[in-house]
Structure 1
Amino acid sequence: MKPDLQTKQPKGRGALTNSVSRFDNVTRHGVDDGWDVDEALPTLRTEVSIERPRSIISYNRSPDLPFDRAINPYRGCEHGCVYCFARPSHAYLGLSPGLDFETKLVARPDAPDVLRAELARRSYKVAPIAIGTNTDPYQPIEKERGIMRACLEVLEECGHPVAIVTKGALIERDLDILGRMARRGLLRVGISLTTMDATLSRLMEPRAPSPNRRLQMIQRLSAAGVPVRVMASPMVPALTDPELEDILAQGKRAGARTASWIMLRLPQEVSGLWRDWLAMHFPDRSGRIMARLREMHGGKEYDARWGHRMRGEGAYAEMVAARFAVAIKRLGLKSSAPPMRVDLFQPPVRPSAQLSLF
């Protein structure tokens, strides 16, 4: 058997393995066959399948989140961020949260039409919709699929508020729509910056734009009148958290108005994927990083309790929170933005066989 993928990094991918999910009855392990041959790993191509959803707006009741509904135009994410907390969701599709998550994607081309139908329901109550909180709506396949842009067109037409989180430079394609929505008080955008070290970023986020490119995104969005949040997320203890102040300062200089931070989260299968990645790239500090995480989660690598999962607790978490508070005060950044408008919402016109009289 060929060596397990944990001994090499698949080109352009974040996870090292395609380990089975928690729902599988069997496990797979690579074993070194003893041959001292430097075999190149095959290039992993991105595959896209189609899903026809019956509903597109998902609702949550989490007190940790500033929104109660979200849209996901895609399942899986080609950016391949090894730390992505959304990876375990791929297990529900019978796929691995590892390499499958970033190579076997699901597009939902009917999302705009389904969204229109849901917004047209008499029972619908308007509130900001979040996009990008699970998988990135501006990942590379959006360039040819255009599902995100079509959803934005529906939201703009209806005067519906939306908050977008992304690392994808493709968001600049939609500056025309975003600028118009921002002027009406219907839009916020968050740009995630994990590190300013381009080499580290390429290891952790292999197909996401470089840190400098994301700063350029903030500049261009801000110049178009879009209120931008710089998101120092996730902060990795003993790896990226020393950069917290620099990330915030550079985000401010680029035009960000607000800022936020979240500590690294390792739910379900993400924990093993992250430990494998650390062992390959940072074996000298792997123990220290994991020890800090366990300190913040009562001895566990992750604690999913509401009010705890985003930041952790204890001296280390409190220190990072205090540094953030001091930094944004010094820089003139806000931790929250004014509420978006909901009074402009007009339900879309339902298709009808009878022509309108007016």
Structure 2
Amino acid sequence: MGQVAPINSMETHLRRYHSGDRPAILRSNLCDSMARYILVLLFLCAVIAEAAPPPPPPRFRIIPRGGTAQEVAGSSITPEAYWHQALPSTDIPIAFRSSLLTDSKLATPAWWRGIYGFIIPSPIGGVNVTLPNFNYQYAATQTQVRANANSTIFFRQTDLVAGSKMRVNFAAPASAAKFLPRSVADSVPFSSAKLPEILSLLSVKPRSAEADIVRKTLKRCEETPLAGETRFCATSLESVVDFSTVSLGSRDLAAVSTVVTSGKPSKQVYTIEPSGVKKLADGGALACHPEKYAYAVFYCHTAPSTKAYTVSLAGAEGTKVEAVVACHTDTSKWNPKHIAFQMLKVKPGTVPVCHFLPPDHVVIARSH
């Protein structure tokens, strides 16, 4: 029996049949059947694949340093809409609004250090109201006291009157770390026990300066609260809303932050204007302070013995500021070496202690 030629026409097929080359024909029929079967299977697979819903896209992706950070698949409600639905009587203060994620390219001035597409502020030159001052269990060094001796960081409540003069620097960071979408923030570990996992996720080397920042912020968020105080580190705008409404027991709230309305917010002498002091809250308020981290984290805490005010200030260089002031009426649980006591030369629990809030901090209180 000779070599079988390819079957490529009906004529060839009949010639082989009449010549008795039936095994070749059987083999050809089998191959044809298998080919048709494979084609049918491929067609069915294509139909099934087309009918099945595609896998959901990742909700969020972080572009490497210098790129953009954006939410790929939006949630059913935006953080802004969540805020306005829960807190209809107050706008989002600029300190939170500037921390909302956008598609715009993140600014990275020379005095910012970025990790994993987000930015961490390093200290701004000059005397300023810095975060450790708002950690009331923090003991200031003599070096820190001397460095701030020419600034009105803390003052007595009796000084909160029209005509009082105070030297303050209201400069705020030119940019800020961004809140993660809530679905992402809730899925990212945030505790000292998970530090190795967190550093790996953020692509941060364990012994780097960034790792030390992450470690300190986690520790700060896990500190034991003072008596009567409630603390929470918010990693999304929605979590700020939830903490505020639960802690203050109301949705009728006012959220404010310090705003420079005109001029340059440089260090200068400010004067409280004639009708510039307005009470915002007489107890029943909370404050949110930004923490250094790979993305926006606000350290929020209730302040049951705190009075909050908004104050209109006029600077010697023409700057106008609508500032937020917090006055603490009970400082008995503060560290005796806190910078406020060293600068005012008073002891814990003796007099109310007040301070301005920088523009990137927020006070939330029940509306009148």
TM-score range relative to shorter protein:
under 0.3
**TM-score normalised by structure 1 residue count:** 0.25
Question: Greater share of strand residues, 1 or 2?
Answer: 2
**TM-score normalised by structure 2 residue count:** 0.24
Kindly name which structure, 1 or 2, has the bigger radius of gyration based on alpha carbons: 2
Comparing both chains, which one has the higher relative contact order based on Cα–Cα distances under 8 Å and sequence gaps of 6 or more? 2
